[in-house]
Structure 1
Amino acid sequence: MTTQLLIIWHSRTGAARQMAQAAAAGAQAVADELEAGDRFDLQVRPADTVRAENLLAADGYIFAAPENLAALSGAMKECLDRNYYHVLDRINGRPYAAMITAGSDGDGARRQLERICTGWRLKAVAPTLIVPMRAQTPEAILAPKVVPEDWLARGAELGGTLAALLL
């Protein structure tokens, strides 16, 4: 029997994508350490490609997105809106984790994502990681980002935790 972890991400400037990649690397490292082989299926998908069948096929989820104007990024929110009712009451109890990249705060996006996951009756396995990118000027906000190594390590740990829980 195969266990699937689905990592859904959206990124405008690269930070949330880097966090999703770190989580994927951490998840794969744990699966390799546990010698999961064909028992573990890791799917990393941009939010705009995720359909209800992807959510239904997964046993657990990691969401990675930026906060934009004190809310979850539009593409991630659209993904969740598009799929919400198609999977409602069909994914209850599945574990999830989340990562929000933010200029400074991230709390608005965190609350929004956690409310959606509560509606889906998903089970949080860790507090949402809010990655402060400290971008405060229009130029810094729009510039490509490089996530500091310590935050990437936290993302990898989160991915490894979810993989270990699933396996």
Structure 2
Amino acid sequence: MAQAARAGAETEADVNTRLLAADDAGVNDVLAADGYLFATPENLAAMAGRMKDFFDRTYYPVLDRINGRPYASLICAGSDGTNAARQIARIATGWRLRPVAEPLIICTHAQTPEVILAPKQIGAADLASCRDLGAALAAGLAGGIF
């Protein structure tokens, strides 16, 4: 999903994109970006622990330094995804970021241990939605809309 969103963003020639794993992203990356697309699986009705760790490590060092920047979110969920989206929105509100799209929640319907643990295959239509979100965010940044 994140790779599809990046591919969509890269269609905008005037925007530089970076795809970073939560473990690899830090304060300088947050400060250097003009906009954000946060992507996470929902685990146990919450954002993934690695994403939570990213926010824990970067929240206070960038507070009041990124106000007004645009963001959107991608959630891969087994059944719902709304709690992870809500968590990201609360953090983004604290950072005073500006939401530019509703959270995009892709549901895999993984409900049994076997299906939860199996690699997920995201369908073409859902990947197209991810690409569209990346493209829209990039176009808004390039056009000065955000």
The 2-side partners of 1:147 and 1:118 are apart by 29
Q: CA deviation at 1:83?
A: 0.4
CA distance in 1, matches of 2:87, 2:17: 25
> 5 Å matches for 1:125-144?
125-144=100-119
Query: Which is strand-richer, 1 or 2?
Result: 1
Within 5 Å, give how 1:19-38 maps onto structure 2: 19-29=1-11, 31-32=12-13, 36=14
Distance 1:133 1:25 in 2: 21
The alpha-carbon deviation at position 107 of structure 1 amounts to 1.0
Match of 2:95 among 120, 123, 134: 120
Q: What code does the residue aligned with 2:2 have?
A: A
1:61 to 36, 60, 75: 36
Distance 2:124 2:52 in 1: 27
RMSD after superposition: 0.7
Of the three residues 60, 67, 74, the one matched with 1:92 is: 67
Counterpart Cα distance in 2 of 1:134 and 1:122: 31
TM-score scaled by length of structure 1? 0.84
Q: Which SS does the other structure have where 2:42 is aligned? A: strand
Structure 1 residue aligned with 2:138: 163
Matched, 1:104 2:79: yes
Question: 4+ residue runs of structure 1 moved beyond 3 angstroms?
Answer: none
What is the alpha-carbon distance in structure 2 between the residues aligned to residue 130 and residue 44 of structure 1?
19
Which segments of 5 or more consecutive residues in structure 1 lack a partner in the other structure?
A: 1-18
Distance 1:135 1:144 in 2: 10
Percent identity between matched residues is: 56
Q: Using the TM superposition, give the Cα deviation of residue 41 of structure 1 relative to its aligned residue in structure 2, in angstroms.
A: 1.4
Count of matched residue positions in the alignment of Structure 1 and Structure 2: 142
- TM-superposed CA distance for 1:63, in Å, is 0.6
